């Protein structure tokens, strides 16, 4: 029977897999897919897809780690305050609450806080005692002890009066400094030699303290011939070096005093006296302040700056605004005693009597 014939060339490693439909001798054969022959172990159902094709095994992948939940620090042992706390009992039975017992245990936050508060109160008491303030009485005395308390107050009238001084005078202050406060500080001075002395002492206490300067006050008087400006102005360089070694004074301070003595002589020729020159800045009347607290007193004022500028212009040395303000307080040009100090009114009355 004649007709087109189809031949199929055999391929060694290939075969035709799948059902072959019936082929008509007059039709075109369907497209057949070649499949690679593999061992039976490779044609496991797991390696064949839905179309009976071979799929290689997937490479093993590591499982993704689960995200860690954020760690929460343990809560502090804080006492919770209930909205309606139970009423406190008057009985003095010890508390059995484990929360309160843990708070009172050493090393707890509450115990550390109580210790800090106790230290703070102790330091505050020391500060109050240092500034000489009287302790406040929390409760009034009993009626039975009225007589004893009144007698005690009468016997201790001296210390109570002493505590009313300016707050920089404390029970631990040097007696020579206390005497200077009670007798000289703030008293108006009109003597030229004493004004010269106070100007020198005020400049010498820079970098030191008044107690140390007052202890050496007699040495200053001996070294500078009783602060006679005419004698001091004639000191030679050899005498200045001898004074520095004999009295233990700085050579720059000694030279400054000698230069100031020459300036004072020039002022005496112009104004008649050093006293008239200085008191002319305050209109011949001391400036009276009304400070209640020590920290309110300034280190310098506009008046001290005015005097300092004029003295520097005239050639004075060691006369900065702060030094001049301290000099004004010492010479009574200004009354800076606290209003709680009895010396405030005493210096004011002495100034009024001196002017009269």
Is position 181 annotated in a ligand binding site? Answer: yes
Query: Distance between CA 246 and CA 332 in Å, rounded?
Result: 32
Is position 290 annotated in a ligand binding site? Answer: no
Residue that has been written with the tokens 């005239």 in this structure: 314
Look at strands 14-16 and 34-36 and give their pairing.
antiparallel
335 strand-pairing partners: 288
Query: Distance between CA 203 and CA 207 in Å, rounded?
Result: 9
Which three-class secondary structure state does DSSP give residue 35? Answer: strand
Is position 15 annotated in a ligand binding site? Answer: no
CA 197 to the chain's CA centroid: 38
Please, which residues have CB within 8 angstroms of residue 344's CB and are 6 or more apart in sequence? 186, 335, 337, 338
DSSP code of residue 165? S
Residue 100 backbone phi and psi in degrees, to 5: -70, -35
Is position 42 annotated in a ligand binding site? Answer: no
14 strand-pairing partners: 36
Q: Which of 229, 242, 241, 244 is nearest to 197 (CA)?
A: 229
CA dihedral 326, 331, 334, 337 (to 10 degrees): 80
Residues within the annotated binding site for Zn(2+)?
A: 166, 181, 337, 341
Residues within the annotated binding site?
A: 166, 181, 337, 341
């Amino acid at each position: 029977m004649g007709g087109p014939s189809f031949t199929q060339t055999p391929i060694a490693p290939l075969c035709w897999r799948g059902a072959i439909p019936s082929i008509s001798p007059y039709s075109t054969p369907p497209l057949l897919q070649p499949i690679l022959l593999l061992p039976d172990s490779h044609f496991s159902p797991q390696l064949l897809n839905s179309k009976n094709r071979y799929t290689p095994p997937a490479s093993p992948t590591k499982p993704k780690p689960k995200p860690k939940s954020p760690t929460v620090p343990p809560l502090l042992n804080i006492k919770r305050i209930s909205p309606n706390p139970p009423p406190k009992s008057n009985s003095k039975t010890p508390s059995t609450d484990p929360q309160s017992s843990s708070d009172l245990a050493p090393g707890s936050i509450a115990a550390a806080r109580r210790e800090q508060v106790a230290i703070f109160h102790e330091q505050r008491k020391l500060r109050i005692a240092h500034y000489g303030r009287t302790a406040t009485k929390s409760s009034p005395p009993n009626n039975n002890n009225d007589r004893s308390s009144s007698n005690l107050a009468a016997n201790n009238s001296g210390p109570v009066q002493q505590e009313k001084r300016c707050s920089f005078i404390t029970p631990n202050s040097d007696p020579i400094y206390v005497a200077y406060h009670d007798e000289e500080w703030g008293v108006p001075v009109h003597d030229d030699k004493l004004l010269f002395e106070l100007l020198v002492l005020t400049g010498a206490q820079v970098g030191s303290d008044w107690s140390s300067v007052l202890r050496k006050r007699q040495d200053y008087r001996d070294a500078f011939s009783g602060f006679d400006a005419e004698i001091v102005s004639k000191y030679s360089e050899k005498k200045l070096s001898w004074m520095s070694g004999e009295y233990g004074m700085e050579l720059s301070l000694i030279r400054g005093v000698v230069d100031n003595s020459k300036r004072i002589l020039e002022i005496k020729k112009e104004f008649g006296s050093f006293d008239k020159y200085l008191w002319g800045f305050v209109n011949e009347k001391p400036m009276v302040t009304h400070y209640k607290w020590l920290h309110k007193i300034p280190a310098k004022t506009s008046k001290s700056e005015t005097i300092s500028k004029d003295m520097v212009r005239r050639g004075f040395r060691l006369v900065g605004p702060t030094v001049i303000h301290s000099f004004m307080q010492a010479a009574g040009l200004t009354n800076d005693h606290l209003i709680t100090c009895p010396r405030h009114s005493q210096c004011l009355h002495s100034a009024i009597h001196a002017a009269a």
